Amino acid sequence: MSPDSPIRERIREACAMVRQKTPLAQSFTNFVTMNLVANAQLAAGGSAAMSFLPDDIVDIDDISGASYINVGTLLPSYRETLEKIAQVFFERQSLWVLDPVAAGLGATRTAILRSFANYPPTIVRANASETIALCGIWGISLGPDSHGGMNRPAGVETVDDVDSAMPYAIELARYLRAHNSTHTAAVAVSGECDLITDGERSFRLPGGDAMMTKITGAGCSLGGVTASYLAVSDPLIAATAASLHYNRASEKAGAVAKGPGSFQAEFLDALWQTQPDEICASDIIESR
Ligand SMILES: Nc1ncnc2c1ncn2[C@@H]1O[C@H](COP(=O)(O)OP(=O)(O)O)[C@@H](O)[C@H]1O
Ligand SMILES: Cc1ncsc1CCOP(=O)(O)O
Ligand SMILES: [Mg+2]
């Protein structure tokens, strides 16, 4: 992507707006990484609120710029609760991000994710295996020889690479645009070289530090920060800006950290310190 692409100015503007407006993006997320989600949203410039009760979620939605649902840890009540919340978001045309953590693993998680097909999010943020598995659960395939779907549960970590998930991500983004209530969407597939697509345009985002795979919550917190950006920009720009912010910050953290513990602390500092001009100047490889 050329240095003078209009996309870069939209990314810079989104980064500036998150800092200026401190948008609230609420989260219904897992217990393992909830604290990092909130701290990453604050370090990126946003504000956070975590809730698990449908009526509370709706009240917070009234004052939120976007919301985030992450299915990493489940309780028995979630089977009904999460479908109801997604339906309310759909009816209210609320903007929201889904992280389908461990998609394909377990009957309850699969039933919850399947229910979201009727009330889909604005953005799906996932690793490659979760992206492929979610397409299988929602009946989105690439044709007779595609392998995606429920037969590839990977747990929390990916067992696929971003390149193999790319055709699925493109179809998934097209599904979101056709079926969600705002008809705008993006899919962010994280990995060694991230992919962001709206079903028409696709960006590959090289860089970032591999130590991100050694802290739990790197992906979950990226989902939360993506929601912070969605509160101030359109889905394609929000997903791109959040992922670029993460990559530039993780590179800074990787340069000074001595292991995963100091890396996480250095990463939060770097999220806070990394500026819009640096983020929008990132290497972005566009493919159509
Ligand atoms: N090999 C890697 N090198 C650099 N950055 C990576 C690598 N793998 C993942 N990341 C980054 O870590 C963050 C979380 O991605 P990932 O680990 O794929 O999500 P999840 O934790 O949901 O599986 C993203 O910002 C992604 O770009
Ligand atoms: C370990 C674990 N178990 C259920 S959720 C979770 C955290 C996953 O975090 P991430 O997807 O960001 O690695
Ligand atoms: Mg994850």
Over residues 181-215, the pLDDT tens digits come to 999 999 999 999 999 999 999 999 999 999 999 99
In whole angstroms, what is the distance from residue 3 CA to residue 79 CA? 46
Domain boundaries, the chain: 6-287
pLDDT at 148 exceeding the cut of 60: no
Tokens of 208: 């970032």
Kindly report the average pLDDT of the chain as a whole number: 95
In whole angstroms, what is the distance from residue 160 CA to residue 147 CA? 12
CATH fold for domain 6-287: UDP-N-acetylmuramoyl-L-alanine:D-glutamate ligase (3.40.1190)
Reported as type and span, the H/E element at residue 262 is helix 260-273
In whole angstroms, what is the distance from residue 113 CA to residue 125 CA? 13
| Average pLDDT estimate for 230-257 | 98
pLDDT at 122 exceeding the cut of 70: yes
Cα end-to-end span (Å), the chain: 12
State in Å: Cα 55 to ligand 1 middle.
33
Q: Are 26 and 50 in contact (CB under 8 A)?
A: yes
Indicate the residue type of 85: I
Percent of the chain with pLDDT over 90: 93
Ligand 2 neighbours (beta carbon < 6 A) = 30, 32-33, 72-73, 101, 156, 216-220
Residue 3 CB-density burial (10 A; 0-12 exposed, 13-18 middle, 19+ buried): exposed
- Please tell me the predicted confidence (pLDDT) of residue 152: 59
pLDDT at 167 exceeding the cut of 60: yes
Residue nearest to atom 19 of ligand 1 (CA): 219
- Which of 188, 154, 192 lies closest to 173 in space, CA to CA? 188
State in Å: Cα 219 to ligand 3 middle.
4
> Of 88-92, 100-104, 147-151, 251-255, where does mean pLDDT reach its minimum?
147-151
State in Å: Cα 102 to ligand 2 middle.
8
| Average pLDDT estimate for 256-273 | 98
Q: How confident is the model at residue 144 (pLDDT cuts 50, 70, 90)?
A: low
Q: How confident is the model at residue 155 (pLDDT cuts 50, 70, 90)?
A: confident
Q: Are 238 and 185 in contact (CB under 8 A)?
A: no
| Average pLDDT estimate for 74-80 | 96
Tokens of 243: 């992922």
Percent of the chain with pLDDT over 70: 96
Q: How many CB atoms lie within 10 A of CB 94?
A: 23
- Which of 81, 76, 134 lies closest to 103 in space, CA to CA? 134
Numbered residues of the known binding site for substrate: 50, 217
| Average pLDDT estimate for 97-105 | 97
Q: Which atom of ligand 2 is nearest to the CA of 213?
A: 13
Q: How confident is the model at residue 288 (pLDDT cuts 50, 70, 90)?
A: confident
Residue nearest to atom 21 of ligand 1 (CA): 219
pLDDT at 52 exceeding the cut of 60: yes
Residue nearest to atom 8 of ligand 1 (CA): 191
Which of 32, 212, 215, when mutated, tests ligand 1's pocket best, judged by the most ligand atoms within 8 Å of its CB?
A: 212
- pLDDT tens by residue, 12-21: 999 999 999 9
- Which of 240, 249, 253 lies closest to 274 in space, CA to CA? 249
State in Å: Cα 183 to ligand 2 middle.
29
pLDDT at 257 exceeding the cut of 80: yes
pLDDT at 147 exceeding the cut of 60: no
In whole angstroms, what is the distance from residue 186 CA to residue 123 CA? 5
Tokens of 83: 């479908």
Task: Tell me how far apart the 2 most distant CA atoms of the chain are, in Å.
Answer: 51
Q: Are 214 and 260 in contact (CB under 8 A)?
A: yes
Reported as type and span, the H/E element at residue 250 is helix 235-256
pLDDT at 145 exceeding the cut of 70: no
Q: Which atom of ligand 1 is nearest to the CA of 128?
A: 18
Phi then psi for residue 32, to 5 deg, are: -70, -45
> pTM value?
0.97
